[in-house]
């Protein structure tokens, strides 16, 4: 049996050869960035959640390894802990707390969006609430911690 041709070949983008797929025009007053996320709150929430999650994971890995030194050699453990008592590591701890605050609060936001349908309509507002609460909590932590870091 012979196949009949329609004269156009389908392309992977869904259009036919010689024509391009139709891209919807942005509404008046709306900027079109040409990407799926367009750099809005949902994209930044996703990116920051992944970055903070990986950062926390690597901290926990290092923490487990340096704590395991106690069983091998208490002197080596004391030497490693001694290297942590400098301003650079104190600033790293400050960044770690900021990452934990954002990751935890954004995780609660994600759970809320997943299990409470009306939250999807307000996900952008919830993102800014997460940022605001994280900043307030961080503002309560950072000055006290940095005083301890730089007073030694």
- Taking only Cα atoms into account, the Rg of the chain, rounded to an integer number of angstroms, comes to 25
Q: Is the pLDDT of residue 62 over 90?
A: yes
Percent of the chain with pLDDT over 70: 74
How high is the pLDDT of residue 39? Answer: 73
Instruction: Work out the mean pLDDT of the chain and round it to a whole number.
Output: 84
Could you give the domains of the chain? 41-151 (1.20.1300)
* CA separation for the pair 18, 7 (Å, rounded): 11
Which two three-digit tokens encode residue 21?
A: 């797929």
> Which residues are 10's β-sheet partners?
16
In sequence order, which residues have a C-beta less than 8 Å from that of residue 145 and are 6 or more positions away? 90, 93, 94, 97
* CA separation for the pair 5, 29 (Å, rounded): 44
Look-up of token digits 């969006």: 113
Confidence of residue 41 (pLDDT cuts 50, 70, 90): confident
């Amino acid at each position: 049996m012979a196949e009949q041709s329609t004269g156009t070949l389908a392309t992977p983008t869904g259009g036919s050869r010689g024509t391009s797929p139709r891209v919807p025009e942005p509404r008046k007053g709306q900027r079109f960035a040409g990407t799926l996320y367009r750099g809005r709150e949902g994209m930044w929430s996703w990116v920051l959640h992944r970055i903070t999650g990986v950062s926390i994971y690597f901290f926990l890995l290092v923490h487990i390894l340096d704590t395991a030194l106690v069983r091998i050699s208490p002197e080596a453990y004391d030497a490693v802990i001694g290297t942590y008592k400098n301003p650079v590591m104190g600033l790293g701890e400050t960044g770690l707390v900021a990452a934990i605050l954002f990751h935890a609060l954004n995780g609660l936001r994600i759970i809320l969006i997943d299990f409470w349908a009306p939250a999807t309509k307000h996900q952008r507002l919830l993102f800014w609430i997460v940022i605001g609460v994280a900043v307030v909590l961080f503002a309560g932590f950072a000055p006290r911690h940095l005083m301890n870091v730089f007073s030694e």
